[in-house]
Amino acid sequence: MIILNSIQDMQKYILQEKTEGNSVGFVPTMGYLHEGHLSLMERAKNEADIVVVSIFVNPLQFGPNEDFDRYPRDFERDKKLAEEAGADVLFYPDTKEMYPDKPVVTVSVNRRTDALCGKSRTGHFDGVATVLTKLFHIVSPDKAFFGLKDAQQVAVVRGLVDDFNFPVEIIGCETKRESDGLAMSSRNVYLSEEERKEAHHLYQSLQKAQSWLSNCDSGETEEKMIKYLEEHTAGTVEYCKVLSYPELLPPVKDDKKLIIALSVRFSKARLIDNVIIDNILEKQGSEEEKCSVI
Protein backbone atom coordinates (compact mmCIF):
# COMPACT_ATOMS: atom_id res chain seq x y z
CA MET A 1 0.00 0.00 0.00
CA ILE A 2 1.25 3.46 -0.96
CA ILE A 3 0.87 6.41 1.40
CA LEU A 4 0.55 9.82 -0.25
CA ASN A 5 0.35 13.12 1.59
CA SER A 6 0.30 15.71 -1.16
CA ILE A 7 -2.44 16.56 -3.64
CA GLN A 8 0.08 16.73 -6.47
CA ASP A 9 1.40 13.22 -5.77
CA MET A 10 -2.15 11.85 -5.50
CA GLN A 11 -3.17 13.35 -8.83
CA LYS A 12 0.01 12.15 -10.52
CA TYR A 13 -0.61 8.60 -9.27
CA ILE A 14 -4.23 8.59 -10.43
CA LEU A 15 -3.33 9.95 -13.85
CA GLN A 16 -0.89 7.08 -14.35
CA GLU A 17 -3.43 4.46 -13.26
CA LYS A 18 -6.12 5.92 -15.51
CA THR A 19 -3.67 6.02 -18.42
CA GLU A 20 -3.16 2.29 -17.91
CA GLY A 21 -6.92 1.75 -18.02
CA ASN A 22 -7.47 1.00 -14.34
CA SER A 23 -10.74 1.94 -12.65
CA VAL A 24 -10.63 3.71 -9.29
CA GLY A 25 -12.78 3.03 -6.24
CA PHE A 26 -12.71 5.63 -3.49
CA VAL A 27 -13.53 5.42 0.22
CA PRO A 28 -13.36 8.84 1.92
CA THR A 29 -13.04 8.66 5.72
CA MET A 30 -12.07 10.73 8.74
CA GLY A 31 -10.05 7.85 10.12
CA TYR A 32 -10.30 5.83 13.32
CA LEU A 33 -11.40 3.00 11.07
CA HIS A 34 -13.84 0.29 12.12
CA GLU A 35 -15.52 -2.68 10.47
CA GLY A 36 -17.96 -0.40 8.68
CA HIS A 37 -15.13 1.41 6.91
CA LEU A 38 -13.39 -1.86 6.12
CA SER A 39 -16.54 -3.28 4.54
CA LEU A 40 -16.60 -0.26 2.20
CA MET A 41 -13.00 -0.99 1.22
CA GLU A 42 -13.80 -4.62 0.58
CA ARG A 43 -16.76 -3.63 -1.60
CA ALA A 44 -14.55 -1.19 -3.49
CA LYS A 45 -11.93 -3.92 -3.98
CA ASN A 46 -14.57 -6.07 -5.66
CA GLU A 47 -15.73 -3.32 -7.99
CA ALA A 48 -12.58 -1.40 -8.97
CA ASP A 49 -9.01 -2.10 -10.03
CA ILE A 50 -7.48 0.43 -7.62
CA VAL A 51 -8.81 1.32 -4.16
CA VAL A 52 -7.99 4.74 -2.72
CA VAL A 53 -8.80 5.47 0.92
CA SER A 54 -8.54 9.00 2.26
CA ILE A 55 -8.12 9.93 5.91
CA PHE A 56 -8.82 13.58 6.62
CA VAL A 57 -10.60 15.05 9.62
CA ASN A 58 -12.30 17.91 7.85
CA PRO A 59 -12.57 21.03 10.02
CA LEU A 60 -15.20 22.62 7.77
CA GLN A 61 -17.85 20.13 8.83
CA PHE A 62 -17.47 20.67 12.59
CA GLY A 63 -19.42 23.36 14.39
CA PRO A 64 -17.89 25.60 17.10
CA ASN A 65 -19.17 23.36 19.92
CA GLU A 66 -18.46 20.03 18.25
CA ASP A 67 -15.69 17.51 18.77
CA PHE A 68 -13.06 18.35 16.11
CA ASP A 69 -10.16 18.54 18.57
CA ARG A 70 -11.03 15.34 20.37
CA TYR A 71 -12.20 13.37 17.34
CA PRO A 72 -10.36 10.03 17.68
CA ARG A 73 -7.19 9.73 15.62
CA ASP A 74 -4.75 6.82 15.33
CA PHE A 75 -2.93 6.83 12.01
CA GLU A 76 -0.71 3.79 12.62
CA ARG A 77 -3.74 1.69 13.50
CA ASP A 78 -5.66 3.02 10.49
CA LYS A 79 -2.76 2.35 8.14
CA LYS A 80 -2.57 -1.29 9.25
CA LEU A 81 -6.33 -1.82 8.92
CA ALA A 82 -6.56 -0.18 5.50
CA GLU A 83 -3.70 -2.28 4.16
CA GLU A 84 -5.25 -5.47 5.52
CA ALA A 85 -8.56 -4.53 3.85
CA GLY A 86 -6.84 -4.29 0.48
CA ALA A 87 -6.43 -0.56 -0.02
CA ASP A 88 -3.87 0.30 -2.69
CA VAL A 89 -3.38 3.94 -1.74
CA LEU A 90 -3.86 5.81 1.52
CA PHE A 91 -4.27 9.53 0.90
CA TYR A 92 -3.40 11.27 4.16
CA PRO A 93 -3.14 15.04 3.70
CA ASP A 94 -2.92 17.48 6.59
CA THR A 95 -5.16 20.52 6.99
CA LYS A 96 -2.59 22.87 5.48
CA GLU A 97 -2.40 20.70 2.36
CA MET A 98 -6.17 20.67 1.87
CA TYR A 99 -6.78 24.27 2.91
CA PRO A 100 -3.54 26.26 2.43
CA ASP A 101 -5.52 29.49 2.80
CA LYS A 102 -9.00 30.46 3.83
CA PRO A 103 -11.23 29.14 1.00
CA VAL A 104 -12.35 31.66 -1.60
CA VAL A 105 -15.20 29.38 -2.66
CA THR A 106 -17.14 26.81 -0.65
CA VAL A 107 -20.17 24.70 -1.58
CA SER A 108 -23.59 25.55 -0.15
CA VAL A 109 -26.20 22.77 0.08
CA ASN A 110 -29.73 24.05 -0.50
CA ARG A 111 -31.89 20.95 -0.09
CA ARG A 112 -31.99 17.74 1.94
CA THR A 113 -30.47 19.53 4.95
CA ASP A 114 -33.51 21.06 6.67
CA ALA A 115 -34.18 17.91 8.67
CA LEU A 116 -32.36 15.30 10.77
CA CYS A 117 -28.75 16.27 11.58
CA GLY A 118 -28.74 19.16 9.14
CA LYS A 119 -31.41 20.99 11.11
CA SER A 120 -29.20 21.48 14.16
CA ARG A 121 -25.73 21.34 12.55
CA THR A 122 -25.72 24.56 10.54
CA GLY A 123 -23.04 24.47 7.86
CA HIS A 124 -22.12 20.82 8.48
CA PHE A 125 -23.17 19.56 5.08
CA ASP A 126 -21.69 22.60 3.36
CA GLY A 127 -18.38 21.44 4.84
CA VAL A 128 -18.99 17.86 3.70
CA ALA A 129 -19.89 18.96 0.17
CA THR A 130 -16.88 21.28 -0.03
CA VAL A 131 -14.31 18.69 1.01
CA LEU A 132 -15.85 16.02 -1.23
CA THR A 133 -15.78 18.40 -4.18
CA LYS A 134 -12.04 18.75 -3.57
CA LEU A 135 -11.51 15.02 -3.02
CA PHE A 136 -13.47 14.00 -6.11
CA HIS A 137 -11.29 16.32 -8.21
CA ILE A 138 -8.09 15.06 -6.57
CA VAL A 139 -8.86 11.32 -6.72
CA SER A 140 -11.05 11.24 -9.87
CA PRO A 141 -12.82 8.04 -8.78
CA ASP A 142 -15.11 5.99 -10.99
CA LYS A 143 -17.05 4.88 -7.90
CA ALA A 144 -17.18 6.26 -4.36
CA PHE A 145 -18.44 4.19 -1.44
CA PHE A 146 -20.36 5.56 1.55
CA GLY A 147 -22.03 3.87 4.50
CA LEU A 148 -25.78 4.33 4.78
CA LYS A 149 -25.53 4.84 8.54
CA ASP A 150 -25.31 8.50 7.62
CA ALA A 151 -28.08 8.31 5.03
CA GLN A 152 -28.55 12.08 4.99
CA GLN A 153 -24.92 12.46 3.94
CA VAL A 154 -25.45 9.94 1.13
CA ALA A 155 -28.53 11.87 -0.03
CA VAL A 156 -26.55 15.13 -0.04
CA VAL A 157 -23.58 13.58 -1.84
CA ARG A 158 -25.82 12.13 -4.55
CA GLY A 159 -27.32 15.59 -5.02
CA LEU A 160 -23.83 17.09 -5.24
CA VAL A 161 -22.76 14.59 -7.89
CA ASP A 162 -25.96 15.00 -9.92
CA ASP A 163 -26.01 18.80 -9.79
CA PHE A 164 -22.30 19.27 -10.60
CA ASN A 165 -22.14 16.37 -13.09
CA PHE A 166 -19.26 14.59 -11.42
CA PRO A 167 -18.40 11.45 -13.44
CA VAL A 168 -18.55 9.25 -10.34
CA GLU A 169 -21.08 6.66 -9.22
CA ILE A 170 -22.09 6.93 -5.57
CA ILE A 171 -22.53 3.53 -3.91
CA GLY A 172 -24.49 3.48 -0.64
CA CYS A 173 -23.52 0.45 1.44
CA GLU A 174 -25.48 -1.26 4.18
CA THR A 175 -24.77 -0.19 7.77
CA LYS A 176 -22.40 -2.51 9.60
CA ARG A 177 -23.55 -3.39 13.11
CA GLU A 178 -22.24 -4.86 16.31
CA SER A 179 -23.67 -8.24 17.39
CA ASP A 180 -26.42 -6.49 19.39
CA GLY A 181 -27.42 -4.24 16.49
CA LEU A 182 -25.61 -1.02 17.43
CA ALA A 183 -24.39 0.74 14.30
CA MET A 184 -20.59 0.83 14.15
CA SER A 185 -19.19 4.32 14.64
CA SER A 186 -15.89 5.94 15.55
CA ARG A 187 -17.75 7.73 18.32
CA ASN A 188 -18.87 4.54 20.07
CA VAL A 189 -15.58 4.59 22.00
CA TYR A 190 -16.93 7.57 23.96
CA LEU A 191 -19.82 5.57 25.46
CA SER A 192 -19.58 4.63 29.12
CA GLU A 193 -20.04 0.98 30.04
CA GLU A 194 -23.65 1.59 31.05
CA GLU A 195 -24.39 3.68 27.96
CA ARG A 196 -22.97 0.95 25.74
CA LYS A 197 -25.38 -1.54 27.33
CA GLU A 198 -28.28 0.80 26.58
CA ALA A 199 -27.19 1.77 23.08
CA HIS A 200 -28.57 -1.33 21.37
CA HIS A 201 -32.05 0.08 22.01
CA LEU A 202 -31.45 2.60 19.22
CA TYR A 203 -31.64 -0.15 16.61
CA GLN A 204 -34.44 -1.85 18.54
CA SER A 205 -36.51 1.32 18.25
CA LEU A 206 -35.95 1.40 14.49
CA GLN A 207 -37.09 -2.19 14.16
CA LYS A 208 -40.18 -1.52 16.25
CA ALA A 209 -40.93 1.61 14.25
CA GLN A 210 -41.25 -0.41 11.05
CA SER A 211 -44.00 -2.41 12.71
CA TRP A 212 -45.67 0.66 14.23
CA LEU A 213 -45.65 2.43 10.87
CA SER A 214 -47.79 -0.34 9.39
CA ASN A 215 -50.73 0.86 11.49
CA CYS A 216 -49.73 4.32 12.78
CA ASP A 217 -49.11 7.49 10.87
CA SER A 218 -45.61 8.92 10.80
CA GLY A 219 -46.21 11.35 13.66
CA GLU A 220 -47.50 8.65 15.98
CA THR A 221 -44.60 6.40 15.06
CA GLU A 222 -42.11 9.15 15.90
CA GLU A 223 -43.75 9.72 19.29
CA LYS A 224 -43.65 6.03 20.11
CA MET A 225 -39.94 5.88 19.20
CA ILE A 226 -39.16 8.82 21.49
CA LYS A 227 -41.11 7.23 24.34
CA TYR A 228 -39.32 3.90 23.87
CA LEU A 229 -35.85 5.50 23.82
CA GLU A 230 -36.57 7.66 26.86
CA GLU A 231 -37.70 4.59 28.77
CA HIS A 232 -34.73 2.40 27.76
CA THR A 233 -31.77 4.81 27.64
CA ALA A 234 -30.40 7.67 29.68
CA GLY A 235 -29.56 9.57 26.49
CA THR A 236 -31.26 12.71 25.26
CA VAL A 237 -33.35 12.08 22.16
CA GLU A 238 -32.56 14.79 19.61
CA TYR A 239 -34.94 13.50 16.95
CA CYS A 240 -36.92 10.54 15.71
CA LYS A 241 -38.25 11.13 12.22
CA VAL A 242 -40.04 9.37 9.37
CA LEU A 243 -39.33 11.11 6.06
CA SER A 244 -39.22 10.50 2.32
CA TYR A 245 -35.88 9.36 0.95
CA PRO A 246 -33.70 10.80 -0.49
CA GLU A 247 -35.58 14.14 -0.44
CA LEU A 248 -36.05 14.08 3.37
CA LEU A 249 -39.48 15.67 3.29
CA PRO A 250 -42.69 14.78 5.17
CA PRO A 251 -43.83 11.49 3.67
CA VAL A 252 -46.76 11.03 1.30
CA LYS A 253 -48.18 7.89 -0.23
CA ASP A 254 -46.51 8.50 -3.60
CA ASP A 255 -42.99 8.31 -2.13
CA LYS A 256 -41.12 5.18 -3.15
CA LYS A 257 -38.78 5.08 -0.14
CA LEU A 258 -38.96 6.18 3.46
CA ILE A 259 -36.24 6.68 6.05
CA ILE A 260 -36.80 6.14 9.76
CA ALA A 261 -33.98 7.99 11.49
CA LEU A 262 -32.92 8.95 15.00
CA SER A 263 -30.26 10.79 16.94
CA VAL A 264 -29.52 10.28 20.63
CA ARG A 265 -26.96 12.25 22.62
CA PHE A 266 -25.21 10.43 25.47
CA SER A 267 -22.83 12.10 27.91
CA LYS A 268 -19.87 12.18 25.50
CA ALA A 269 -21.21 10.77 22.25
CA ARG A 270 -23.94 11.67 19.80
CA LEU A 271 -25.15 8.60 17.92
CA ILE A 272 -27.27 8.40 14.77
CA ASP A 273 -28.92 5.46 13.06
CA ASN A 274 -31.60 4.75 10.47
CA VAL A 275 -33.33 2.22 8.30
CA ILE A 276 -34.47 2.85 4.73
CA ILE A 277 -37.62 0.99 3.72
CA ASP A 278 -40.16 0.79 0.93
CA ASN A 279 -43.06 3.18 1.51
CA ILE A 280 -45.70 1.36 3.53
CA LEU A 281 -48.02 4.29 4.17
CA GLU A 282 -50.43 3.07 1.51
CA LYS A 283 -50.71 -0.21 3.41
CA GLN A 284 -51.95 1.41 6.59
CA GLY A 285 -55.25 0.22 7.99
CA SER A 286 -58.37 2.24 8.59
CA GLU A 287 -58.54 4.96 11.25
CA GLU A 288 -60.14 2.50 13.66
CA GLU A 289 -57.20 0.12 13.29
CA LYS A 290 -54.48 2.72 13.87
CA CYS A 291 -52.58 2.56 17.11
CA SER A 292 -52.40 5.35 19.61
CA VAL A 293 -49.42 6.63 21.54
CA ILE A 294 -49.62 5.42 25.12
Binding-site sequence positions: 30-37, 61, 147-150, 153, 184-187
Do strands 236-244 and 257-265 pair parallel, antiparallel, or not at all (unpaired)?
antiparallel
Binding-site sequence positions for ATP: 30-37, 147-150, 184-187
Q: Assess whether 124 carries a catalytic annotation.
A: no
What is the DSSP code string of 137-153? HHH--SEEEEEGGGHHH
Q: Please state the φ and ψ torsions of residue 191, each to the nearest 5 degrees.
A: -75, 140
Binding-site sequence positions for beta-alanine: 61
Query: Which residues on neighbouring strands pair with residue 170, listed in sequence order?
Result: 144
Selected catalytic residue, list 37, 137, 200, 232: 37
Do strands 270-278 and 257-265 pair parallel, antiparallel, or not at all (unpaired)?
antiparallel
Binding-site sequence positions for (R)-pantoate: 61, 153
3-class DSSP state for residue 222? Answer: helix
Strand runs labelled E in 80-201:
89-91, 143-147, 169-173
Closest C-alpha to 281, from 262, 261, 260, 258: 258
What residues have CB less than 8 Å from 26, skipping those under 6 apart? Answer: 44, 51, 52, 53, 54, 135, 136, 139, 141, 143, 144, 145, 168
Q: How far is 230 from 179, CA to CA, in rounded Å?
A: 23
Closest C-alpha to 176, from 40, 44, 54, 29: 40
Closest C-alpha to 152, from 121, 186, 182, 115: 115
3-class DSSP state for residue 181? Answer: coil
Task: Kindly give the interhelix angle for 151-164 and 124-139, rounded to the nearest 10 degrees.
Answer: 60
Residues annotated as catalytic (active site), given as ranges: 37
